[in-house]
Structure 1
Amino acid sequence: MTQSRRKPMLTVIEPSLAHTPQLKVDPAAILAVIPALNEARHIEECIRSLMAGSPVLRLVPLTVADGGSSDGTQAIVERLKGEFPNLRLLENPKRLQSAALNLAAETHSSERTRYLVRCDAHSIYPENFILLVAAALQRTGAASVAVPMDAVGETCFEKGNAWVVDTLLGSGGSAHRGGQRSAYVDHGHHAGFDIEWFRKIGGYDETFSHNEDAEYDVRLGKAGGKVWLDAGIRIQYVPRGTVRSLARQYYNYGKGRARNLAKHGSRLKVRQAVPVVALVGSVGGLLAAPFFLPALILPAGYLSLLAGASSAVAVRRKSICGLFAGIAAGTMHLCWAAGYIRQQFARGNPT
């Protein structure tokens, strides 16, 4: 995220769902977990949003798994415990989100717990989000529920980034990136788990600092579990607001994907191979150009594609901010590919 005070907002596509009497889930059957690390600016609003809606929510165990915050996050949670008696604080010495979910499932669940709901500390949620996710798990019998992510932006770069990330050029057509149809999918943005399935396959792999969700879904699929993408529960999020932060994010995503594929002996999908081809072709073309000038057609062609995308987005959105779309897409492609290639040469080193 950027250093500004803007926060990703979460909304439900069909607001009526938040008030439907169908949300009849035993609150004691749910464990909601918020992994947190230095989230003092966001944690209170996040907790209050999760507790907004049905009074039943205050009976749902809500655990903040804190990775050793030094900014006052823990003190805020302790204060809010006086208002929300279902709120608990858990120390997460391993600091990672994957470890936070595993630890909470192990130590803060009970014999009645059936559903594990994952929430992000820097987000604000719609009314009854926790109940909506648990109800989707209950209704479908799926091992996991994922939700679509809709990118939005406020600054010009954020808008350009948001307008391209959920397109074929930006995310390659991932089902959970702006998808409009509920369906079973191989992978999606994690929102909830059947806790028995979570335990059965060993939870998250804590050696993954990134891509732990996709790695989990690979193991889940091999074990026979299904992931339900619920298009009626949607996350609006603000993407990275600078080229530097976006580059760092996608570099780490690329590394995580390489580790995931190496662990499971899988191959890149076509849409995932395209950024690698773009990077190798562009760099190779630039290196070969002094000896074979036509090689410049590779990087020139790629730059032309990005420039065309920027122009098209700017025209479609009727905003000059669309010109940042190509810059954002190129940053995502090339940094993801660089991280992937870097990890391929790391020979099993997880760092």
Structure 2
Amino acid sequence: MAHDAAQNTLPGVSYVMPVLNEVTHVRAAVDSLLQQDYEGPFEVTLALGPSMDGTTELVEELAAVDPRIRVVENVVGSTPAGLNLAIRESRYPIVIRVDAHSVLPADYARIAVETIISTGADNVGGLMDAQGTTPFEKAVARAYGSRIGLGGTKLHVGGEAGPAETVYLGVFVRQRLLDVGLFAEDIKRGQDWELNRRLRASGGTVWFTPELKVTYRPRPNLYRLARQFVSTGVWRGELARRFPSANGVRYFVPPAMVVAVVLGFLVGIAGIVQAVVGAQPWLLLGFAVPVFYALVVVASAVVWGRRDGFRSFLWFLVVLPCIHFCWGIGFLLGFLSLSRNITAHTGR
């Protein structure tokens, strides 16, 4: 009887998940939704993009055995298009965004709904808790969770509950999503930040709570990690160009670092030329910049990378520069309006 009463009084929740070529992770992500301890009604809507790795067959199998799972076809294949399709097909007043790489803890929906009710927020989110299984993935996870890796924002390293610029994933009041026009489909990455910008601009509140912690599975190899961060950087540069007053200084640190290291290296090369021709090689001082950066990477690896063993420590020495340089180069390309050419080849 208590369960039936909760079903009648608690708001229903709609889990929405865009899925594209995620055969490795999507089952665990969906299972984490079905195992939530939230006692209100719920539904799961998967926006299935044109996958080529067996994801389509797996998702159809999941929907066939559980009527609470629905599949909608996302012909465009992009994340924002899939989210909007799933939201439009949903019917409950609370929308919980889920990523196919994420695993929600059993109390996620319950805590999120309680927080929305108690704070009156339009969007509630928490911490992206990156967890790897291989030495490479563990190194990536450590980089994500370190202040030098992704900038030390609350959604990566945690912090006190309160209003925030943006949060990981998000649990939304559905009507407020409709009020501000849903996700911008012309923004392939960073669409959550842009949506939260509109929510806040319209007088709404985006709320961070450390009680919400979502397990995130990092990319499994260096190639896919590099693609991810080039694409992410491109779109962050695009957003910085579109909304200059809404972007903090921290977004400009990686591109500034890339420019400084590259210029320093080139100046150092010029110093070698000076030495060869018999001139005073004062330009060798340019090497101080890349050397300083290398020392920062090594020091960071000692602090964070060594916690998961020697192999993860070695991977951290590679992963951290990969994140910095790919993101920074992508940012510069996006900021210089080259994102259309680049994102066509960087994938989801």
- One-letter code of the match for 2:86? A
What is the aligned-residue identity percentage?
Answer: 28
1:86 matches 2:77: no
Q: 2:45 maps to what in 1? A: 63
2:285 matched residue in structure 1:
294
* Separation (CA, whole Å) in 2 of partners of 1:224 and 1:275: 31
- Residue identity matched to 2:83: L
- Between the aligned partners of 1:300 and 1:221, the Cα distance in structure 2 is 42
Residues 1:338 and 2:329 aligned together: yes
Amino acid at match of 1:98: P
Q: Distance in 2 between matches of 1:305 and 1:145?
A: 35
Q: Indicate if the aligned counterparts of 2:21 and 2:51 stay in contact, CA closer than 8 A.
A: yes
| Cα drift, residue 118 of structure 1 | 0.9
Change (3 A) 1:347 1:180: closer
Counterpart CA distance in 2 for 1:78 and 1:244 is 29
Could you tell me whether the CA contact under 8 Å between 1:32 and 1:130 is conserved in 2? no
Matched letter for residue 332 of structure 2 = I
In the alignment, structure 1 residue 241 sits paired with structure 2 residue 232: no
Deviation at 1:341, TM superposition (A): 0.7
Question: What displacement does 1:221 show?
Answer: 1.8
Q: Secondary structure at the match of 2:169?
A: strand
Task: Tell me how far 1:71 sits from its aligned partner.
Answer: 4.3
Give the match for residue 109 of structure 1.
Answer: 90
Counterpart of 2:45 in 1: which secondary structure? Answer: strand
What is the match of residue 221 of structure 1? Answer: 200
TM-score normalised by length of structure 2: 0.84
**AA paired with 1:43?**
V
Count of residues in correspondence between the two structures: 328
**1:52 maps to amino acid:** Q
In structure 2, the gaps of 5 or more residues are 272-282, 344-348
Please give the per-residue CA displacement for 1:169-212, whole angstroms capped at 9, x wherever unaligned: 11211110030432221111123111121111111111111111
Partner of 1:12: none
Q: Give the partner amino acid of 2:85.
A: L
**Superposed counterparts of 1:1-351, under 5 Å:** 29-54=12-37, 56=39, 59-106=41-88, 108-110=89-91, 113-266=92-245, 268-289=247-268, 290-291=270-271, 292-313=283-304, 319=310, 321-346=312-337, 349=340, 351=343
Bigger radius of gyration, 1 or 2?
2
Cα distance change, pair 244–48 in 1 and its aligned pair in 2 (3 A)? closer
Does structure 2 conserve the Cα–Cα contact (< 8 Å) formed by 1:40 and 1:76? yes
Structure showing the higher helix proportion among its residues: 2
CA distance in 1, matches of 2:266, 2:39: 63
SS of residue paired to 1:186:
coil
CA distance in 1, matches of 2:95, 2:61: 24
RMSD: 2.8
Q: CA deviation at 1:53?
A: 4.3
Which segment is superposed worse, 168-177 or 326-335? 326-335
CA–CA distance in structure 2, aligned partners of residues 118 and 333 of structure 1 = 27
Q: Secondary structure at the residue paired with 1:286?
A: helix
Which has the higher mean CA deviation after the structures are superposed, 90-99 or 307-316? 307-316
Distance verdict in 2 for CA 1:79–1:167, change over 3 Å = closer
Change in CA separation of 1:186 and 1:55 when aligned onto 2, cut-off 3 Å: closer
**Cα deviation, residue 317, structure 1:** 5.8
Deviations 1:28-72 (A, max 9, x none): 632211211233343333323211144846x41221111133444
- Structure 1: any 5+ residue segments left out of the alignment? 1-19
Distance 1:209 1:325, change over 3 A: same
Q: Using a 3 Å threshold, how does the CA distance of structure 1 residues 23 and 310 change in structure 2: closer, same or farther?
A: farther
Instruction: Kindly provide the CA deviation profile for residues 229-267 of structure 1, in whole angstroms up to 9, marking residues without a partner as x.
Output: 121120122323333222211111111111112222336
What is the identity, as a one-letter code, of the residue corresponding to 1:45? A
Question: Whole-Å Cα distance in 2 between the matches of residues 92 and 345 of structure 1?
Answer: 30
- SS of the aligned residue for 1:33 comes to strand
Q: Which amino acid aligns with 1:148?
A: L
Q: Secondary structure at the match of 1:176?
A: helix
Distance 1:121 1:243, change over 3 A: closer
Q: Does the 8 Å CA contact 2:238/2:337 hold for their aligned counterparts? A: no
- How big is the shift at 1:318? 6.3
Partner amino acid, structure 2, of 1:199: L
Q: Which amino acid counterpart does residue 323 of structure 2 have in structure 1?
A: M
Secondary structure of the structure 2 residue equivalent to 1:233: strand
Distance (whole Å) between structure 1 residues aligned to residue 110 and residue 59 of structure 2: 21
State the AA in 1 paired with 2:28. Answer: E
For residues 48-105 of structure 1, the C-alpha deviation after alignment (integer angstroms, 9 at most, x for no partner) is 3211144846x41221111133444344444434542222111112211211121222
Letter in 1 for 2:302: S
- Measure, in 1, the Cα distance between the counterparts of 2:107 and 2:306: 38
